[in-house]
Amino acid sequence: MLDIQKIRKETDQVVRGLAKRGLKIDFTDFLAKDEKRRQLISDTEALKAKRNKTSAEIPKLKKAGQDVSEVLKEMKTLSDEIKEADEVLAALNEEQAEYLAGLPNIPAEDVVAGGKENNQVIKVVGKKPDFDFEPRHHVDLAEQLGLIDYARGAKLGGNGYWIYTGLGAQLEWALLNYFIETHIKDGYKMMLVPHSLNYACGFAAGQFPKFADDVYWLDTLPGDDRDNSHFLLPTAETALVNLHRDEILAESELPKKYFAYTPCYRKEAGSYRAEERGMIRGHQFNKVEMFQYTRPEDSEAAFQELVDKAIALVEGLGLHFQVSKLAAGDCSASMGRTNDIEVWIPSMNDYKEVSSASNAYDYQARRGNIRFRRDGGKRNEFLHTLNASGLATSRIFPAILEQNQLADGSVLIPEVLRKWMGGMEIIKPVK
């Protein structure tokens, strides 16, 4: 949620910021209505002040033995007038809130305008493996090594689902263990959260109202009974940002650093592409998500910490990858800045996102009413929220298979994972 004060006072700056996302916003109507709304507020408040004052007089008049029937009649009229004005005002407020809720975050100053095509690669680690044989596709490798059962996954859940089997399941779990161990060591607090969340969670995260169709709804349809419906989280971020919704934290508690493992459930409607066969894009995938609540002045440093942590994880696996700084239009709605970590997938001849690190600044804090009180300070301030995957396994797993494959179709297990694989160093084809 954007600060309405900012829209009023620094309109041009807001317009320019949103333009970087490719949005042409004209606040003229909005501001005119806001003006009207505020006028109405002051009008109705004058009426209410009068009501309160007279209302306090009535018991005194009664006590003095005076006849108050005339006053009561006037008050009735006044009350009706207030009620009418309040209804108009409520409608205006709702309209305004709805409009504000639909506006995305303003990109940070140094984030360039435009979409994906303007993303900049800011770091490259390792290099593309040089195979002296015909490298295999990860789907083939996974099947030959008995790691993934795609056919039965589809039988159980349909397109977009797979089953980790045997060593594949162990390898997947080893990855998660590696992430978890690292985060704990780095002082992040582990959380296991509900996977079924209520509407307010999606709103605070910034997924709703706009992207309510991208998630799986459990009981009712959104809009039917929005406040009592639940959806499966598309990322643990949605849960973690809501941990402190409607809370006021003490400055001394900040920064708060969390991480959570959850499967992520996404509809991915209409996004299936042939080149993404396998586990590149599924309806359910495993991810460990890092999250921070910080003071405003600390969030840029926290962002760097999160990016560095994600980098270190991929680096620790010995994989080749790059880091991209996203252009404004490629940052999701809630985020003012995002860096993606993209791992090399040989079969796709492309880099695919394994982590997305973002700074939401105060955008989510406003939506979720998450504030903090400075030591000795009087006013509560919105804090900043940041998140970063650390990591999603669904692209790391194929990257390991493809980048670490040998001529005979076996795959080297990254060293850091071996302790969770019973010391195993290599996975060999079963047939």
Partner RNA sequence: GGAGAGAUGGUCGAGCUGGUUGAAGGCACCGGUCUUGAAAACCGGCGAAGUGCAAGCUUCCGGGGGUUCGAAUCCCCCUCUCUCCGCCA
Among residues 15, 25, 31, 41, the one that binds RNA under rule CB under 7 A? 41
Indicate whether 59 belongs to the interface with RNA (CB under 7 A). Answer: yes
User: Which tokens hold the place of 99?
Assistant: 């409009």
Within its chain, how far is the Cα of 304 from the centroid? 17
Stretch near RNA under the rule CB under 7 A, chosen from 37-45, 131-139, 206-214, 351-359: 37-45
Nearer to RNA, 96 or 322 (CB): 96
How many helical (H) and strand (E) elements, i.e. helices and strands, does the chain have? Answer: 12, 17
Among residues 6, 9, 36, 76, the one that binds RNA under rule CB under 7 A? 76
**How many residues belong to the site for RNA (CB under 7 A)?**
34
CA distance 145 to 157: 22
145 preceded by a cis bond (ω within 30 of 0): no
Nearer to RNA, 40 or 163 (CB): 40
Q: Cβ of 187: how many Cβ atoms within 10 Å?
A: 8
Among residues 248, 301, 406, 430, the one that binds RNA under rule CB under 7 A? 248
User: Which tokens hold the place of 313?
Assistant: 């994880």
User: Which tokens hold the place of 140?
Assistant: 């083939």
Indicate whether 69 belongs to the interface with RNA (CB under 7 A). Answer: no
Within its chain, how far is the Cα of 46 from the centroid? 42
Indicate whether 163 belongs to the interface with RNA (CB under 7 A). Answer: no
Residue with tokens 């692209």: 395
Indicate whether 4 belongs to the interface with RNA (CB under 7 A). Answer: yes
Stretch near RNA under the rule CB under 7 A, chosen from 56-64, 255-263, 295-303, 326-334: 56-64
Stretch near RNA under the rule CB under 7 A, chosen from 47-55, 182-190, 259-267, 335-343: 47-55
Nearer to RNA, 91 or 301 (CB): 91
Residue with tokens 């209505």: 33
Indicate whether 48 belongs to the interface with RNA (CB under 7 A). Answer: yes
Nearer to RNA, 227 or 297 (CB): 227
Q: In angstroms, what is the minimal distance from the CB of 235 to RNA?
A: 23
Nearer to RNA, 28 or 349 (CB): 28
Helices (H), ranges, 64-188: 69-102, 138-144, 150-157, 167-185
Within its chain, how far is the Cα of 216 from the centroid? 16
The angle at the Cα of 261, spanning 256 to 265, to the nearest 5 degrees, equals: 120
Residue with tokens 């609540």: 293
Among residues 23, 32, 43, 49, the one that binds RNA under rule CB under 7 A? 49
Indicate whether 42 belongs to the interface with RNA (CB under 7 A). Answer: yes
Distances (CA, A) of 18 to 13, 23, 362: 9, 6, 16
Contact string (CB under 7 A) for RNA, positions 362-391, x = contact: ---------x-x-xx-xxx-----------
Among residues 56, 64, 269, 274, the one that binds RNA under rule CB under 7 A? 56
3-state secondary structure of 336: coil
Distances (CA, A) of 248 to 174, 238, 258, 369, 381: 37, 19, 17, 9, 9
The answer to whether the CB of 346 falls within 8 A of the CB of 387 is no
Contact string (CB under 7 A) for RNA, positions 143-162, x = contact: --------------------
Indicate whether 75 belongs to the interface with RNA (CB under 7 A). Answer: yes
User: Which tokens hold the place of 426?
Assistant: 């290599």
Stretch near RNA under the rule CB under 7 A, chosen from 42-50, 129-137, 353-361, 409-417: 42-50
Q: In angstroms, what is the minimal distance from the CB of 248 to RNA?
A: 4
Q: In angstroms, what is the minimal distance from the CB of 68 to RNA?
A: 8
Indicate whether 53 belongs to the interface with RNA (CB under 7 A). Answer: yes
CB neighbour list of residue 203: distance below 8 Å, 6 or more residues apart = 101, 209, 367, 368
Within its chain, how far is the Cα of 258 from the centroid? 14
Give the relative orientation of helices 28-63 and 69-102 as an angle to the nearest 10 degrees.
150
Indicate whether 227 belongs to the interface with RNA (CB under 7 A). Answer: yes
Q: In angstroms, what is the minimal distance from the CB of 408 to RNA?
A: 44
Among residues 13, 159, 220, 228, the one that binds RNA under rule CB under 7 A? 228
Binding site for RNA (CB under 7 A): 4-5, 38, 41-42, 45-46, 48-49, 51-56, 58-59, 62, 72, 75-76, 78-79, 90, 227-228, 248, 371, 373, 375-376, 378-380
